[in-house]
Structure 1
């Protein structure tokens, strides 16, 4: 074999190896199948050149796609056919890798938007306008997970409001900036000056406690909606023990948020079985009001728990659960979580 042919063979092999190594790196992720094909071609040409230059009397014949192949071409064709057959099995892996790469890119984009929102302001603020949207589950399009932005007091037409309460089921004073206080005030009977004269929801909740001082974390109690039925079209309030208090330490989020979601949605379905038509639920970000919790972890846990409940209860009469995002930062987090939740269909454009 001449040095020229040996050199050409070496160049072809080196080029094939180099291309294959490059295709196996991060830049080739998601398209390795396509990039491996030129490598196979280079290997087959190098092999055929080496074989028939070293052993010129070798014979190789065959047919492919209606054409007869012989000699070096036959050998190269056979080599490529076998290699392509093997490489074709890697196509699903490329498609999976491509999908993961796209999801990682979208995740990075959303996190960048969130970081920008956090850096652009000193403190979270309520969004300029209230919006709502919902996304169906892939396996059960009758069930939706969505988001409502803004103050709960401005939410109209949702059947059930969830009240993240403490394990004492002791509602906040009406002057406090909490979900509990909002429900207590707007659900009570007020005089012409707006002063609370009958604490309807708090009194009913106290009656439900029946002398108990505590309930277990994650336990739920349901009450009527008081004046909220007429003013906001709310049919039921579901109180869930989502925070626990400690002396001189304030309140902290309970550990098992999934149990909270499972219990409260189970209570709504129980009421539906009793004849109530409760189709929509607004769910605040449980336990995040005092700042003693991880906002993103909470939103991810609640969203996954809602999707898991619907998957486990495909006959649930609840149609939509909305996460309540009071501030612009919460809205950005919730939108990111809903966008990336694999159980949901592709969400609407922002």
Structure 2
């Protein structure tokens, strides 16, 4: 009200200062108005008419602002609830799915669900390792630890007595402290040959670490896949028979990487490699989906990629 009154009086005074001979007469609310008061009354009525039209817009804007604040509050509660929720669980059983590449009868992609320790009959297990090629302790819940423990020699009580894969990897790293991101080193499978039918372990530098900062996923996942499959094909050319590969979602173990983006980049890179190397002796690359969340992500990626013909259970 005071703002409208001051605005009206100022407008009337401004007009009269420019046009001193101006005349205005009218009636408002039963009163006669003339001169400067008439002009002021006119501006006041016009202002109230305009304000009445914009009231609905103001109410809408106010409701939108309130809804935005409520949405932010609910999102914060959801984030807290998700952070406190149990980690995603592995599927109840290990299941294998495959999908052919369009126009390519020789190669295919697939998905294996569940714990890597339950995977049987795949020629090559991929170990997503750090650039220092230092395997995890066997008590950690990582792919590296699983491979290290099950590939080592154990006594009747299940204790590791010969750290076969880790020792072989350390021998290859004897002359250097670290490797480039995406570099691949191949070792034997240790005890996994007899227990799981594994022929080779491919250690790929998929994460980079910094002191007191942990590990982060390397930037070029396509190079990781290209180096991996290229090295396996080199061994195939040398006389080995490495036809199938199980590939974890590289660098996602710490929970700080995008699962969907990672799965899509790995699958697309494998398809691209096969398209560029139609004579590759590798037949199938399986993405390893360890948790129920990873299963849904991998299923979605392998279903929607245009180069694939649709996922089917084997």
Mapped contact 2:113–2:289 kept (Cα < 8 A): yes
1:265-284, aligned counterparts within 5 Å? 265-284=229-248
Once residues 87 and 310 of structure 2 are traced to their aligned partners in structure 1, the CA distance between those partners, rounded to angstroms, is 31
Once residues 123 and 101 of structure 2 are traced to their aligned partners in structure 1, the CA distance between those partners, rounded to angstroms, is 20
Equivalent in the alignment of 1:169: 133
1:9-158, aligned counterparts within 5 Å? 122-158=86-122
- TM-score for the superposition, normalised by structure 1: 0.65
**Compared CA separation, residues 287 and 133, structure 1 to 2 (3 A):** same
Question: Residue 173 of structure 1 aligns to a residue in which SS?
Answer: coil
Equivalent in the alignment of 2:197: 233
Higher strand share: 2
Question: Residue 141 of structure 1 aligns to a residue in which SS?
Answer: strand
Structure 1 residue runs without a partner (length 5+): 1-117
Mapped contact 1:282–1:322 kept (Cα < 8 A): yes
Once residues 95 and 220 of structure 2 are traced to their aligned partners in structure 1, the CA distance between those partners, rounded to angstroms, is 29
Give, in angstroms, the shift of residue 284 of structure 1. 0.2
Once residues 313 and 111 of structure 2 are traced to their aligned partners in structure 1, the CA distance between those partners, rounded to angstroms, is 14
Structure index of larger Rg: 2
Once residues 305 and 260 of structure 2 are traced to their aligned partners in structure 1, the CA distance between those partners, rounded to angstroms, is 13
The partner residue of 1:243 within 207, 222, 241 is 207
Which portions of structure 1, spanning 4 or more consecutive aligned residues, are displaced by more than 3 angstroms?
none
Once residues 185 and 86 of structure 2 are traced to their aligned partners in structure 1, the CA distance between those partners, rounded to angstroms, is 37
Give, in angstroms, the shift of residue 209 of structure 1. 1.2
Per-residue CA deviation, residues 16-69 of structure 1 (Å, 9 max, x unaligned), is: xxxxxxxxxxxxxxxxxxxxxxxxxxxxxxxxxxxxxxxxxxxxxxxxxxxxxx
Count the aligned residue pairs: 232
Equivalent in the alignment of 1:314: 278
Structure 2 residue runs without a partner (length 5+): 1-81
Once residues 335 and 206 of structure 1 are traced to their aligned partners in structure 2, the CA distance between those partners, rounded to angstroms, is 36
- TM-score for the superposition, normalised by structure 2: 0.72
Question: Are residues 1:221 and 2:185 paired?
Answer: yes
Equivalent in the alignment of 1:256: 220
Give, in angstroms, the shift of residue 349 of structure 1. 7.5
Question: Are residues 1:346 and 2:275 paired?
Answer: no
Higher relative contact order at CA 8 Å, sep ≥6: structure 1 or structure 2? Answer: 2
The partner residue of 1:336 within 285, 300, 307 is 300
Mapped contact 1:165–1:180 kept (Cα < 8 A): yes
1:202-217, aligned counterparts within 5 Å? 202-217=166-181
The partner residue of 2:263 within 299, 307, 313 is 299
Mapped contact 2:299–2:311 kept (Cα < 8 A): no
Mapped contact 1:139–1:311 kept (Cα < 8 A): no
Equivalent in the alignment of 2:289: 325
Once residues 267 and 331 of structure 1 are traced to their aligned partners in structure 2, the CA distance between those partners, rounded to angstroms, is 27
Give, in angstroms, the shift of residue 347 of structure 1. 2.5
Question: Residue 184 of structure 1 aligns to a residue in which SS?
Answer: helix
Equivalent in the alignment of 2:44: none
Q: Calculate the aligned-residue CA RMSD, in Å.
A: 1.6
Once residues 168 and 311 of structure 2 are traced to their aligned partners in structure 1, the CA distance between those partners, rounded to angstroms, is 39
Once residues 313 and 179 of structure 2 are traced to their aligned partners in structure 1, the CA distance between those partners, rounded to angstroms, is 42
Question: Are residues 1:188 and 2:167 paired?
Answer: no
Give, in angstroms, the shift of residue 130 of structure 1. 1.3
